[in-house]
A and B are shown apart, each in its own frame.
Chain A
Amino acid sequence: MPEVRFAQALQSHVPCPPQQVDAVPDALLRDVLDAAFRAAPSLRGYVLDEQGDLRPHIALFADGRSLPGTPALDAPLPSGCRRIDVIQALSGG
């Protein structure tokens, strides 16, 4: 049951408080995010593009450790993972 948290910058567009997500053993990270998006369906388009890839300036962390972008989506959730953070890169001007 990892907790999924979306950065404040995302929540300024689509509110979605931190939530506990049911995850079956060997669940993919994509499955976990899909479950989280059920609480705020329009958030999906802010995090993923129409092909299901992670947007280039979104970063994922599992218990504080960074994950390698889109490839991480189709990998199993790290064993024992308690928290997923979805944040935006700090770039632009």
Chain B
Amino acid sequence: MTPSSKLHVATRKGLFTLEPGRGDAWEITGVDHLAIPVSAVLQDSRDQTLYAALEHGHFGPKLHRRKAGGPWEEIQVPRYPERPADAEPERDIMGRTIEWKLRSIWTLEPGSSDQPGRLWAGTLPGGLFRSDDHGDSWQLVESLWHDPRRQQWMGGGSEVPALHSISIDPRDPKRLALGVSCAGVWHTADDGASWEPHESGMRAAYMPEERQFDPLAQDPHRLARCAAAPDVIWCQHHNGIFKSTDAGRNWTEIEKAGPSTFGFAVAVHPEDPDTAWFVPADKDERRVPVNGSLVVTRTRDGGRSFEELRTGLPQRHAYDLVLRHALDVSADGRSLAFGSTTGNLWLSADGGDHWTTACPNLPPIHAVRFA
């Protein structure tokens, strides 16, 4: 596997691209959509097309595409269908109205190599969309949207349910696992024709006792599947860290992981399912590093133990929070990158043993992604 040659950084004020410079340093070589919030980015490895989901505060979510060697172009954005005129207002379990309107594109994923043009988009307020023409048109996956169990979904962090993780089984791209805040993990084995929530294991200590293990009440913050061992999926959950060895059907809680198990982001080594990284925050009600000391936690034994990786990271008065899409590992498993809401970007070339500040002055970082 060759090292990554680009890193895309989606921020509150634009999309930044970094490439390797001299030595271990990476340099900003591209600034696009400056001053516009970028909620998701994807460089499709099948054809190198770059996609950027924008969130104009005033003008709604937009989607832009740049084919290899071409200019940026605005393309169709996923659209929710019109609701029946006589339908009652749809409300979540908190009684809040859920409108069938695109709030945000929160994640973009490519299909497999034998699905040319296939893209998946996860959105707020919870809809999954599919494109088979490189984003020229999008179809709402209605089997999921019309599932009556969706009425039990609720917002977590945002006011509305948010589909943030689309994990495709590389052995069979018709098998997907979705992470939704807050609706747990949803599975399809037939390319989205039918769906089932995960079965057991996730725990939401913040819920009333009767619902703490309810699959639909769970708030997975991010899913990360091992490419070489696709039955292993790691999850950074609102309640802590969970791991599945049956492709996300059942989960086991990892109760101890360095200074805290609370956080948003997770990355797993593409070839070693026992190696995963997290960037913990103190706890739900204090979303800053423990004691102002920034740390990446790494397990290399499947979660039995965790190392605290601190070399090169600020250890005093650091208040950086790393959002769920803002940690990534390269395809060779050696390079890591993460960015914070404070606008700091760190890189490691040795699996997290040593970190360097790639850029200290970026806008708040939503997502980082190697290409």
Residues of chain A at the chain B interface (Cβ within 8 Å): 9-10, 13, 42, 45-47, 49-51, 53, 55, 57-58, 88-89, 91-92
Contacts and interface: CB of A to CB of B under 8 A. Distances in A.
B3 interface: no
Chain B at the A interface: SS class: loop
A45 B60 contact: yes
Interface stretch (B94-102, B247-255, B263-271, B332-340): B94-102
A51 B82 CA distance: 6
Given A42-B74, A45-B62, A50 B101 contact: yes
Contacts, number: 44
B100 A89 contact: no
A50 B80 contact: yes
Interface string B59-102: 11010000000000010010110110000000000000001111
B62 A57 contact: no
B56 interface: yes
Contacts of A53: 101
Contacts of B100: 50-51
B273 to A, nearest CB: 40
5 contacts: A13-B56, A49-B101, A50-B79, A91-B57, A92-B58
- Interface hub of A9, A10, A49, A92 (most chain B Cβ within 10 A): A49
Nearest to A90: B58
Nearest to A59: B58
Interface residues of B, number: 16
A61 B80 CA distance: 28
Contacts of B80: 50-51
A91 B57 CA distance: 9
Given A42-B74, A50-B79, A57 B58 contact: yes
A57 B58 CA distance: 5
B14 to A, nearest CB: 14
Contacts of A46: 56, 59-60
Contacts of A58: 58-59
Interface string B293-306: 00000000000000
- Interface hub of B56, B62, B79, B100 (most chain A Cβ within 10 A): B56
A49 B77 CA distance: 11
Nearest to B102: A50
A59 B60 CA distance: 14
